[in-house]
Amino acid sequence: MATAHITSDINDIANIVIMPGDPLRAKYIAEHFLTDVKLVNSVRNMLAYTGYYKDKLVTIFPSGMGLASIGIYAYELYKFYNVDTIIRVGSCGSYQENLDLFDVILVDESWSDSNFAKIYCGVDTNVSIGSYEINSKIKEVANKINKKVHIGNIYCSECFYSLLDTDSTLIKEKNCLGVEMESYALFHIASSLNKKASTVLTVSNSFVTGRETTAKQREQGFNDMILLVLESII
């Protein structure tokens, strides 16, 4: 089995995929949390790994940045590799004063001004929703291990740099906790293919305080989020 962007054998991809944005974060997760690890993809340096977390087989597959990039990898994994669940583990910028660096967010709804869903499947909507089943399991595990998780909406932007000096009205109307660039597409693709998807984020910068993490911290400093998600899949 091979697609335009993935050269893995179908048996090399687990039915549950953990999806960071950064290929180096995928490498870090595989090397520090998994055993019996195998490199299963390197096309375009999108380094993906399959291994065991405890006794659970899992694939760590990066998405790259933005709706278009995650749209490619999520679709191909769901459609051609029998993947049932993708959990995005990413970073976000915070809009809320009560959110500090490294706080963890579980996304209920992803709101966006993007036309991705309309172009992808003809649905003209500003919202996409994560899997209730997967989110419920993550909440349950967070309570069990006493990990504080903020639960709410996120704004999903199509543009990292904008020349406009105004925020989307959706941010305030939907009380979005922060902003990232992938969940809206992931949720829509999962829904259209009758699959499951969830997004867990770590605050990497604050638009309130101006504080931000370093590139190295974003690559290797999100262990609380990673452990929460890995514990949830078992």
Question: Alpha-carbon distance 41 to 211, whole Å?
Answer: 35
Beta strands 178-180; 196-206: pairing state: unpaired
Question: Alpha-carbon distance 59 to 105, whole Å?
Answer: 22
* CATH tag, 10-233: 3.40.50.1580
**Residue 69 pLDDT class (50, 70, 90 cuts):** very high
Beta strands 48-53; 35-41: pairing state: antiparallel
CA 23 to chain centre: 13
pLDDT in tens, 73-113: 999 999 999 999 999 999 999 999 999 999 999 999 999 99
pTM, two decimal places:
0.97
* Domain range list for the chain: 10-233
pLDDT in tens, 180-233: 999 999 999 999 999 999 999 999 999 999 999 998 898 888 999 999 999 999
Strand partners, 152: 107
Which pLDDT value is given to residue 119?
96
Q: Is 217 helix (H, G, I), strand (E, B) or coil?
A: helix
Nearest CA among 113, 44, 120, 25 for reference residue 79:
120
The residue count of the chain comes to 234
Pairwise pLDDT comparison (194 vs 165), residue with the higher score: 194
Question: Alpha-carbon distance 182 to 15, whole Å?
Answer: 20
Question: Alpha-carbon distance 96 to 88, whole Å?
Answer: 21
Which pLDDT value is given to residue 219?
82
